[in-house]
Amino acid sequence: MSECDVCGEITRPGSQIARGYALGFFEHHSGPPYEAASLEALPGNVFRCPACGTYYWLEEEFKSFLENDYSFVRMGPLGSDGPDATRVRVHDAVRAKDVAALERLIRAAERETKQVAIQTIDTYIDESSVERSLREFLRELRDSSTEKPRC
């Protein structure tokens, strides 16, 4: 993980985000914690540092206990291998509008990687703030890469 000025607030010792603790017991609280205010929000509860490019996941959990509602918010960096690496490659390709990279990723991937890539693409298709032509392309790419039942 990079130690840039923006990420430094998130990764500093004692940061509740870095340790993964609940950030508060605020009734119906949602969204990123204040430490993440400088990060770029992407679909699917993913954030990107504009300075160094590090990606972070955001997890929100809501619970009730003794008739009180609590929300727990945790944030951490996406990993550099496995499903996290696939998510990062898809986010990078969509941000750069790199059609060829997206097609290579979807067409050449093994089944598990392909599923993660399609799930990540789906977050962009469902996001209304994403440019309409890009959403349509992603929808076509997803639909063309899913296996069709054989008769």
Residue 15's pLDDT is 59
Segment 72-92, tens digit of pLDDT: 667 778 888 888 888 889 999
Answer whether residue 27 shows pLDDT above 50: no
Contact between 73 and 29 (Cβ < 8 Å): yes
The structural domains of the chain, with segments of one domain joined by +, span 5-77, 82-145
Answer whether residue 29 shows pLDDT above 60: no
The mean pLDDT of the chain is: 76
Q: What is the pTM of this model?
A: 0.70
Residue 14's pLDDT is 57
Answer whether residue 147 shows pLDDT above 70: no
Distance CA 87, CA 76 (A): 14
Residue 16's pLDDT is 54
Answer whether residue 5 shows pLDDT above 60: yes
Answer whether residue 102 shows pLDDT above 60: yes
Phi-psi group of 49: left, alpha or beta (phi > 0 → left; psi -120 to 50 → alpha; rest → beta): beta
Contact between 58 and 7 (Cβ < 8 Å): no
Residue 64's pLDDT is 67
Answer whether residue 22 shows pLDDT above 80: no
